């Protein structure tokens, strides 16, 4: 009979187990009824350098707070001084996202998070008339040519004459709560509606429970600074999936018009470097358009290279020792990662790589002695009256030889302009002013080179939204970028070929399509043809390309698509099928790219290639992280980012519900125990005989 008793107990246990499974299976449906998921793909995250951390994080299980919409400063004051239902989640529009407002919210201890609501039709030019920049007033100053230890008369120039007057350093600040950007209009509407129905104060008085609340989850695993974070990343972890942090990492993309073979005598050859940056930043993941700050220069460089490549045979046939190198730098936002890595490699005699003994047709080494001129295309998308400015470095130009060479370069531009049909005007910036933030500074810190920086501004930036989400397609006048490329291509052709003037015309259609793909719609046909399947999110929703630099294990789609387009721009079609179209070695002069969607499959032979853009700080053994010599930026790891909207009961109700649940569980187990112990009476089972 003991068996019968055990059978009853097992039966009851199964009933409880099935009930539990039923509850679990229904929990997701219940959760869907309680919680309303809102947009969560653009959260602020943590980054680190050698001295400190910046960005945002939530608690491990997320932050919860009652929503309060901020329409003016008095709404924020109400939360800080009067609001009784803290912690609060602030829902504010971009004009109220200021360092002072966030500092007040953080110092109060009454705010657990912020959501920035971007309403449809929001016009930053009208709402943010004085500008809004997340960078410093003097971007990259401490890693540039005129930093505090430079000992020149231009050391404090930017402090008195800031290049970026709207700079708030919001991007480089540390926040103790999560900040999410929301531009999905359904999510924006749901938050506003829920607030107005349940939370909006009546005659200045707070509403009673239940109240509309938000849960934001964006826990970052990294902490403190890059040195600490990288050290923790090397330690064994109880949770193998935890990634504490990664160095910022990507690839510079470059190529030369003429091939440079190591087997040839290159002692007397010189190179004109034409450079632009291809990265930008914002506070948030998945959105960093950088149209005026980076895309305009990138597109102008690619258009220039495309125009020059159409005249490659003439350039190759000319009896000239000059060559042209086009290069797109990555990571320049974060203290010149790409350009400083190129300089470091050149100093070691390892650019683009260490010399290989067993490859006959390898790419030649390139060093400082090969550089004739350095031309950088900076911010060129907001020019007025088709006017651009040529900025030069007064420190290096104090050398008469360098100054003379710079004069030759400026004269070449003026000659191209005077004979051009483009209408572009180049004006020399004041010689007493130093260079604006530019990759060129990374080279000038180590060697005097003649060169200039082309920009749409004479003094401070015309770009009022530098390093923010609002540096988008609305922040650019892109219709004349092909004209700029035409003048630049003409200047380069004249300097390399050495013949009398010949106007080179850039392809306006190519320029416009390229600009549209980067600034508006990364799902464009050109990106699809050149590897758009790698772009993932951008290809699915038609958003602009993300111009953020990346980490080693991050999304590399934009870099690879750009590399493929650049290979076509710098290369030539060859009659090879997909199997034959391949390079035997990265070290060879020519690289081969097969693009299956271009004309049903096209093979390109090109000098274009990628080289690492990772700061030397992460490659130098026992590097002094606080030395300020090289960029030390790293990005925190995270596992899940989520945001949910729900109605929250009062604390008393929450405690009552928890206590009720505990009582229910205890009662259930007590009932099962009682039924099991009295099963013979409850179920009519005879008492088992006593053991003999």
Task: Check which CATH number belongs to the domain holding 323 and give it.
Answer: 3.40.630
In a domain, 166, yes or no: no
What's the pLDDT band for 655 if we cut at 50, 70, 90? low
| Average pLDDT over every residue of 661-674 | 73
* 281, 207: one domain: no
Strand runs labelled E in 330-472: 371-377, 387-391, 425-428, 450-455
3 state DSSP class of 70: strand
* 504, 456: one domain: yes
Flag whether pLDDT at 22 surpasses 60: no
In a domain, 553, yes or no: yes
Q: What's the confidence (pLDDT) of residue 679?
A: 66
pLDDT digits (tens, 9 = 90+) for 308-362: 999 999 999 888 899 999 999 999 999 999 999 999 999 999 999 998 888 888 9
Residues 83, 76: Cα–Cα separation, whole Å:
10
Residues 181, 187: Cα–Cα separation, whole Å:
11
- Indicate the burial class of 304 (C-beta count within 10 angstroms; 0-12, 13-18, 19 or more): buried
In a domain, 663, yes or no: no
How many domains does the structure of the chain reveal? Answer: 3
| Average pLDDT over every residue of 256-264 | 89
* 441, 455: one domain: yes
* 222, 265: one domain: no
Residues 549, 293: Cα–Cα separation, whole Å:
14
In a domain, 653, yes or no: no
Q: What's the confidence (pLDDT) of residue 377?
A: 98
| Average pLDDT over every residue of 600-627 | 95
Residue 83 Cα distances to 79, 112, 117, 363, angstroms:
4, 13, 21, 67
Q: What's the confidence (pLDDT) of residue 252?
A: 98
HSE on the CB side for 8, CA within 13 Å?
18
* 409, 337: one domain: yes
Residues 565, 415: Cα–Cα separation, whole Å:
31
Q: What's the confidence (pLDDT) of residue 667?
A: 76
Flag whether pLDDT at 431 surpasses 80: yes
H or E segment to which residue 14 belongs:
helix 2-34
Share of residues in the chain with pLDDT > 90 (%): 75
Flag whether pLDDT at 299 surpasses 90: yes
Which pair of structure tokens corresponds to residue 89?
């989640």
Sign, Cα dihedral of 232, 234, 239, 240: positive
Which pair of structure tokens corresponds to residue 453?
């920086």
167 phi and psi, to 5 degrees?
-60, 125
Share of residues in the chain with pLDDT > 70 (%): 88
* 179, 281: one domain: no
Q: What's the confidence (pLDDT) of residue 349?
A: 94
Q: Which residue's structure tokens are 């509407």?
A: 189
In a domain, 629, yes or no: no
* 111, 255: one domain: no
665 vs 600, residue with greater confidence: 600
* 304, 425: one domain: yes
Residue 253 contacts residue 608 (beta carbons within 8 Å): yes
H-state helical runs in 394-523: 400-418, 440-444, 481-497, 508-519
Q: What's the confidence (pLDDT) of residue 193?
A: 97
* 416, 286: one domain: yes
Residue 457 contacts residue 390 (beta carbons within 8 Å): no
Flag whether pLDDT at 236 surpasses 70: no
What's the pLDDT band for 498 if we cut at 50, 70, 90? confident
Residue 366 contacts residue 443 (beta carbons within 8 Å): no
Residues 227, 300: Cα–Cα separation, whole Å:
38
In a domain, 506, yes or no: yes
Q: Which residue's structure tokens are 């009853």?
A: 8
Flag whether pLDDT at 265 surpasses 80: no
Q: What single-letter DSSP state applies at residue 616?
A: G
58 phi and psi, to 5 degrees?
-105, 175
Flag whether pLDDT at 268 surpasses 80: no
Q: What's the confidence (pLDDT) of residue 393?
A: 97
Flag whether pLDDT at 276 surpasses 90: yes
| Average pLDDT over every residue of 56-85 | 96
H-state helical runs in 576-678: 651-677
H-state helical runs in 209-336: 226-233, 296-309, 312-317
Q: What's the confidence (pLDDT) of residue 357?
A: 83
In a domain, 622, yes or no: no
Residues 456, 475: Cα–Cα separation, whole Å:
13
Residue 247 Cα distances to 325, 331, 334, 386, 559, angstroms:
27, 11, 11, 40, 17
Q: What's the confidence (pLDDT) of residue 429?
A: 95
Among 103-112, 133-142, 378-387, 535-544, which is the least confidently predicted range? 535-544
Across the chain, what does the average pLDDT equal? Answer: 89
Domain that holds residue 52: 37-145+173-245+641-648
In a domain, 150, yes or no: no
* 383, 409: one domain: yes
| Average pLDDT over every residue of 244-272 | 89
Strand runs labelled E in 241-400: 245-247, 249-256, 270-277, 322-329, 371-377, 387-391
What's the pLDDT band for 27 if we cut at 50, 70, 90? very low
Q: What is the DSSP string of 27-62?
A: HHHHHHHH-EE---S-BB--EE-SS-EEB----TT-
Residue 448 contacts residue 115 (beta carbons within 8 Å): no
* 324, 305: one domain: yes
* 471, 572: one domain: yes
Residue 142 contacts residue 148 (beta carbons within 8 Å): yes
Q: What's the confidence (pLDDT) of residue 553?
A: 79
Task: Identify the CA nearest to 605 among candidates 572, 578, 629.
Answer: 572
H or E segment to which residue 610 belongs:
strand 609-614
Residues 427, 148: Cα–Cα separation, whole Å:
29
Residues 207, 436: Cα–Cα separation, whole Å:
52
Q: How many CB atoms lie within 10 A of CB 462?
A: 18
Residue 337 contacts residue 635 (beta carbons within 8 Å): no
Flag whether pLDDT at 539 surpasses 60: no
Residue 603 contacts residue 567 (beta carbons within 8 Å): no
As beta bridge partners, residue 646 has: 213
| Average pLDDT over every residue of 108-113 | 97
Q: For the chain, what is the radius of gyration of the CA atoms?
A: 31
Flag whether pLDDT at 651 surpasses 60: no
Q: Which residue's structure tokens are 């490329």?
A: 485
Of these ranges, 74-83, 416-425, 549-558, the one predicted with the greatest mean pLDDT is 74-83
3 state DSSP class of 476: coil
Residues 89, 569: Cα–Cα separation, whole Å:
49
Q: How many CB atoms lie within 10 A of CB 579?
A: 7
Contacts of 185 (CB under 8 A, 6+ apart): 119, 120
Residue 252 contacts residue 610 (beta carbons within 8 Å): yes
């Amino acid at each position: 009979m003991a068996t019968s008793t055990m059978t009853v107990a097992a039966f009851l246990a199964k009933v409880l187990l099935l009930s539990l499974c039923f509850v679990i299976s229904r929990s997701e449906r219940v959760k869907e009824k309680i919680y309303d998921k809102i947009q969560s793909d653009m959260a602020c995250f943590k980054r680190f350098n050698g001295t400190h951390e910046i960005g945002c994080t939530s608690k491990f299980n997320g932050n919860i707070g009652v929503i309060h919409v901020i329409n003016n400063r008095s709404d924020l004051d109400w939360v800080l001084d009067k609001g009784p239902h803290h912690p609060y989640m602030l829902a504010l529009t971009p004009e109220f996202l200021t360092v002072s407002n966030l500092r007040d919210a953080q110092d109060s201890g009454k705010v657990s998070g912020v959501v920035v609501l971007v309403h449809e039709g929001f016009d930053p030019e009208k709402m943010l008339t004085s500008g809004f920049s997340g960078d410093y007033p003097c971007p990259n100053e401490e890693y540039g040519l005129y930093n505090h230890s430079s000992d020149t008369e231009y050391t404090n120039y930017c402090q008195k004459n800031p290049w970026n007057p709207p700079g708030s350093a919001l991007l480089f600040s540390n926040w103790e709560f999560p900040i999410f950007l929301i531009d999905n209009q359904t999510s924006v509407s749901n938050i506003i509606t829920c607030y107005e129905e349940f939370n909006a104060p009546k005659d200045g008085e707070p509403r009673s429970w239940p109240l509309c609340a938000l849960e934001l989850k964006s826990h970052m695993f990294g902490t403190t600074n890059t040195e600490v974070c990288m050290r923790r990343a090397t330690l064994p972890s109880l949770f193998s999936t935890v990634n504490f942090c990664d160095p910022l990492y990507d690839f510079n993309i470059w190529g030369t018009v003429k091939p440079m073979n190591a087997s040839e005598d290159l002692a007397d050859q010189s190179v004109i470097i034409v450079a632009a940056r291809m990265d930008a930043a914002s506070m948030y993941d998945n959105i960093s358009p950088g149209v005026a700050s980076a895309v305009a220069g990138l597109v102008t460089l690619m258009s220039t290279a495309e125009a020059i490549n159409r005249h490659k045979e003439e350039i190759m046939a000319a009896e000239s020792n000059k060559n042209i190198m086009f290069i797109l730098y990555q990571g320049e936002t974060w203290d010149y990662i790409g350009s400083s890595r190129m300089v470091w490699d050149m100093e070691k005699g390892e650019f683009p790589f260490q010399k290989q003994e067993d490859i006959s047709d390898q790419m030649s080494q390139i060093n400082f002695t090969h550089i004739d001129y350095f031309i950088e295309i900076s911010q060129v998308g907001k020019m007025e009256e088709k006017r651009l400015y040529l900025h030069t470095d007064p420190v290096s130009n104090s050398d008469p030889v360098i100054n003379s060479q710079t004069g030759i370069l400026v004269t070449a531009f003026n000659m191209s302009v005077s004979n051009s049909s483009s209408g572009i005007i180049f004006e020399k910036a004041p010689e007493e002013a130093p260079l604006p933030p530019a990759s060129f500074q990374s080279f000038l810190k180590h060697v005097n080179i003649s060169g200039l920086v082309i920009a749409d501004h004479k003094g401070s930036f015309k770009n009022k939204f530098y390093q923010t989400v609002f540096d988008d397609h609305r922040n650019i006048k892109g219709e004349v970028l092909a004209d700029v490329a035409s003048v630049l291509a003409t200047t380069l052709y004249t300097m390399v070929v050495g013949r009398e003037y010949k106007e080179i015309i850039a392809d306006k259609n190519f320029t416009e399509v390229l600009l549209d793909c980067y600034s508006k719609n990364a799902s464009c046909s050109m990106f699809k043809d050149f590897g758009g399947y790698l772009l993932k999110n951008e290809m699915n929703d038609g958003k602009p390309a993300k111009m953020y630099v990346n980490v080693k294990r991050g999304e590399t789609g934009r870099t690879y698509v750009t590399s493929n387009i650049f290979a076509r721009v710098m290369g030539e079609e060859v009659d090879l099928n997909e199997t034959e179209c391949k390079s035997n070695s990265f070290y060879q002069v020519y690289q081969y790219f097969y693009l299956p969607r271009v004309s049903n499959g096209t093979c390109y032979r090109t000098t274009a290639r990628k080289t690492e853009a990772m700061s030397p700080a992460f490659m130098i053994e026992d590097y002094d992280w606080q030395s300020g010599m090289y960029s030390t930026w790293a990005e925190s790891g995270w596992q899940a980012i989520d945001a949910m909207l729900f109605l929250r009961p009062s604390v008393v109700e929450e405690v009552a519900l928890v206590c009720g649940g505990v009582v229910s569980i205890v009662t259930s187990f007590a009932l099962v125990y009682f039924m099991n112990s009295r099963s013979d009476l409850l179920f009519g089972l005879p008492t088992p005989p006593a053991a003999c």
